[in-house]
Structure 1
Amino acid sequence: MKILITGCHGQLGTELQSQLAAEHCALGPLPMRLQKATVIAVDVEDLDITDREATINYISRHKPDTVINCAAFTNVDGCETARDAAFRVNALGPRNLALACEKIGARLIHVSTDYVFPGTANGGIPLDECCVPAPISAYGQTKLLGEQYVQRFCRRHFIVRTAWLYSYYGKNFVKTMVRLGKTHDEITVVNDQLGNPTNAVDLAYHILLLAVSHDYGIYHCTGSGVCSWYDFAAAIMQEAGLSCRVLPCTSDEYAAAHPESARRPAWSALENRMLRCTVGDTTRDWRDALKDFFANWNGE
């Protein structure tokens, strides 16, 4: 099997490569069909997915069985001020990949986000794949259009929405909290935005399960359980053995102190219903996945 991974230098792209090389992860062995898989890992210096002609030519030349699109403009605040750049990467990029995959009959697994939802509480019920998106930020809006282009232009598609992703690689909330915890006696974190922390190990493993299935459609894939950013930060300090105090604040208080920040969903907890009903959902409770992260992280 030949797999093309875009955004290969990011958190998820790097984790996918690691699992494919090892042929297993903390959740178990990879499917047999993925053993000895040929992996083509590219980032923007190798393939600019915002260039339609270049993308179609590249994929037509290499003929992968599956493309996993991890490339994205993920700076939520930056998307508000660099809307053209966000539009190109988050919307036109997936469109170009969809056109290219359809041309050669390849599958496209496109990674999306909980930010396609508006953040209303929904009665405290996690959002499943039946819920209607209505993003409130440029990031969420461009990611939703990317989803729509994938659905429109590639029949063999998987759209995988995730949230609050962290990994051993690159920059993420867990590493930021550890860095701050080592240099501050206390920090302030919002306590009225709730969602699902997701270890990239869990996300990558389930994406690779989908890569050998025929259950096309929209999926949610996040860690199990719901918490606030404040809860998440406090758990990180505890697992890291740091004495830094975490103080709660509201989103309004944070916005007053950081007026340049984009609006975030107050409630973006996702339900992995489609996973559970197809290839199976073995994502871990977010606390257990966080413990495992610290048990295996080298601190870099």
Structure 2
Amino acid sequence: MIDFRHIDAFRAVMKSETMVQAAKLTGISQPGISRLIAELERLSDLKLFDRSRGRLHPTTEAHVLLEEVERRYAGLQAIREFARSLKDSASSPVRFGTVMSFGIGFAARAIAAFKAEHPQIPISHTTGSSALIADQVTMRTCDLGLVTDNADVSSVSSSVFASMDLICALPSDSPLAKNRTITAAMLRDQTIIAYPREDMVRWGLTNVLEEVGISYSRASVETPYSVNICALVREGAGVGFVHPIAAYDFLGHGVSLRRFERSLPVRTLFVKGIGSPLSAGAERLGDILAETLASTEKIVANSLMA
């Protein structure tokens, strides 16, 4: 059976081109290297080297095999580096994921604050659906995550991270922006940018608006994320209901934010794995996420009172 001894010997010979140098690289005797290469050729049923005048000349098959070996070694090296980092929990890589509302400006601010404190700790961020983030936390490819409260969190540890009302996003030059609170009746003659039909948020908005005769279900513009709605509002395509965290990124950029007369709550959950503690870095990131939330909420609240 081909094992790592054969592959190490083959790689060493390919790198050094002589048995003598390969022996020095591996710490195996020259006869040992010769035996391993002969066994590899026999076990693989491949001729890997032409031998003439005491020198080895790799065949085409040997070069192709080396490409695959190098790919495997690159992955092995990444594992070695990761394992070394685990010796010091303070510098273990930190991986987190968020839904889209928290995935652009909010995540960037949190990452910047984290790196200012811990420049030596690698950090990675994923943005995706709640189901994707929860699955990654379950499989330990993410240390922690932020998901919506309709996600299946049965396989992770969860707690409420944020509970906020949707707010109205209006073009800054809209006459409606003169009001501190928007009522459903004010929106009768407005183009409303809607969430997709399968979105849970849409169901609640449909009921509220249809009470005053507005058919939210017939909206002419639909898009899945608050950040998309804000961008469309900025371009004058209509008005919409958005998550305050996503709306923050558009303050002062052609979008005015106003409270709505009715409470339209959206909750976000903080999730982490069950059964094993977070690294020191991941724990600190969790604190920074909470701090970033508090500062963002304060700024958005002040803008709503303007």
Q: Same fold (TM over 0.5)?
A: no
Of Structure 1 and Structure 2, the greater helix share is in 2
TM-score normalised per structure 1? 0.25
The structure having more radius of gyration, on CA atoms, is 2
TM-score normalised per structure 2? 0.25
